[in-house]
Amino acid sequence: MDKMIACHDCDLLMPRPNVPEGHFAHCPRCGSTLISARPNSIERTLALSLAGLILFLPANLYPLLSLEALGLRQTETVFSSAMSLYTDGLWLVSLLILLFAIIVPLVKLLLLFYVSASLLGGELWRGTAMAFRSYQHLDEWGMLEVYLLGIVVSVVKLIDVASVEPGLGVYSLTALILITLLSSTMLDRDLFWRLIGERYPNPLPDADAEPHPICCHDCRLLCPPHMEGQHCPRCHSRLHARTPHSLAWTWSLALTGALLMIPANMLPIMTVRTLGRGEPATIIGGIIELTHHGLFWIALVVLVASVIIPIGKLVGMLILLLTVQMGWTTNLRQKMLMYRFVEWVGRWSMLDIFVVGILVALVQLGNLTHIVGNHGATAFAAVVVCTMLAAQKFDTRLIWDRHRQRTEANA
Ligand SMILES: [Zn+2]
Ligand SMILES: [Zn+2]
């Protein structure tokens, strides 16, 4: 067994390539990475996840920024930025900041540590397959690097108002982000799953001889087609040749995201009150104000993250959905590239939400000046989550089905 491999993104079945350490194997049809063979992947992943767990404490306990004005001093941590929005009544935004900037990054490191430690030992620990599957699902929901960019934007916004200084937490946070990025690049998923499979007590099915095996969407194990709807014997996720109701889910999530764009842009996201006066500002209003202060680069960054990316994502999803429904077979490789970009870029839209959280936590100088979060932020956070889920629910294998039918008919 294990002589064949199927592409996770386009379902092309091919003989398993022999990949030397430090090299990659890409799918010849859609270009997605099939195998990235990393030297000493288990040991390195274990060491990096442990280092990440150690850095997690100072990154969250020490202040990230401190602000001083007229003898008043205010500091900010990731936790306080989430809590400040809870106090303003924006509990959903507060929950999302907690999840994306604290809980998910921590759980990801814990799961990676557990899986690599389990694989390094002789016997597989309980729930290793489940832990690795959960890690894969959580991957793009950890957003520490977006939070760090939020800190940079906040500092630039406040530079004229007060003296803002980075705290010890910022250095730990930066190191933590680098370690997290390294740990995911050092991870050889194919090797991890093969090792998990090898140590399973029951033999895995031999689907190599089948003409159209089902490729498990989580662990990529090839299973015979009659196992549709059953649990994968290696990772226990449900086996489906294609994600059930993928198009219906993607359409509804993308349309919900598109509708929520209206309140997200019409309602104010925050209010700056100086000496009791201040107008609520929308996302666009905030960008215009940045240009009035001559901060063109920051205005551009916020414009890209908050306006261009969400609209671009929705247009991209629309093109992909129409490709499947109209049976278009042109430029499929380019469309896959677009899908990967849409999937990767979505999280960066959380930038403005993080900035609001940081500013509300930091600028609390009593009657002198303080910042309050508004409900536009809730609508905008919901747009980001809906569009990210829409991309996740889309089964890219669907865009290749018509292409395969045509090639098979011509053969
Ligand atoms: Zn492929
Ligand atoms: Zn599986």
Tell me the DSSP string of 264-278: HHHS-SEEEEETTB-
**One-letter identity of residue 407:** T
Query: What pLDDT is stored for residue 199 in this prediction?
Result: 82
Residues whose CB falls within 8 Å of the CB of residue 376, separated by 6 or more in sequence, listed in order: 263, 264, 265, 266, 267, 268, 269, 282, 283
202: confidence class by pLDDT, cuts 50, 70, 90: low
Report which bound ligand comes closest to the CA of 10. 1
> How many Å lie between the centroid of ligand 2 and the Cα of residue 107?
21
Query: What pLDDT is stored for residue 163 in this prediction?
Result: 86
> How many Å lie between the centroid of ligand 1 and the Cα of residue 397?
8
> How many Å lie between the centroid of ligand 1 and the Cα of residue 401?
12
- Condensed to tens digits (0 to 9), the pLDDT of residues 129-185 reads 999 999 999 999 999 999 999 999 999 888 877 889 999 999 999 999 999 999 999
CB 343 within 8 A of CB 140: yes
Report which bound ligand comes closest to the CA of 240. 2
> How many Å lie between the centroid of ligand 2 and the Cα of residue 89?
41
Q: Angle 168-185/144-158 helices, nearest 10 degrees?
A: 150
Neighbours of 83 (CB within 10 A): 17
- Condensed to tens digits (0 to 9), the pLDDT of residues 265-274 reads 999 999 988 8
Domain ranges of the chain: 69-110+128-166+243-410
Q: Write out the residues surrounding ion ligand 1, Cβ under 5 A.
A: 7, 9-10, 12, 27, 29-30, 32
> How many Å lie between the centroid of ligand 1 and the Cα of residue 26?
8
- Condensed to tens digits (0 to 9), the pLDDT of residues 241-253 reads 999 999 999 999 9
Report which bound ligand comes closest to the CA of 223. 2
> How many Å lie between the centroid of ligand 2 and the Cα of residue 237?
6
Report which bound ligand comes closest to the CA of 230. 2
Q: Is the pLDDT of residue 1 over 70?
A: no
Rg over alpha carbons for the chain, rounded to the nearest Å, is: 24
- Condensed to tens digits (0 to 9), the pLDDT of residues 52-103 reads 999 999 999 999 999 987 788 889 999 999 999 999 899 999 999 999 999 9
Tell me the pTM: 0.93
> How many Å lie between the centroid of ligand 1 and the Cα of residue 341?
16
- Closest C-alpha among 339, 345, 274 to residue 306: 345
> How many Å lie between the centroid of ligand 2 and the Cα of residue 219?
4
Tokens of 247: 């198009």
Query: What pLDDT is stored for residue 145 in this prediction?
Result: 95
Rounded mean pLDDT of 279-302?
Answer: 91
> How many Å lie between the centroid of ligand 1 and the Cα of residue 159?
48
Query: What pLDDT is stored for residue 404 in this prediction?
Result: 84
> How many Å lie between the centroid of ligand 1 and the Cα of residue 318?
21
Distance CA 219, CA 215 (A): 8
> How many Å lie between the centroid of ligand 1 and the Cα of residue 215?
12
CB 253 within 8 A of CB 387: yes
CB 52 within 8 A of CB 180: yes
State the DSSP string of 100-117: IIIIHHHHHHHHHHHHHH
CA distances from 95 to 139, 265, 362 (A): 18, 21, 18
Mean pLDDT across the chain: 92
Query: What pLDDT is stored for residue 274 in this prediction?
Result: 81
Please name the residue ranges forming H helices in 62-127: 78-87, 91-98, 104-120
> How many Å lie between the centroid of ligand 2 and the Cα of residue 197?
9
Distance CA 387, CA 33 (A): 24
- Condensed to tens digits (0 to 9), the pLDDT of residues 399-408 reads 999 888 888 8
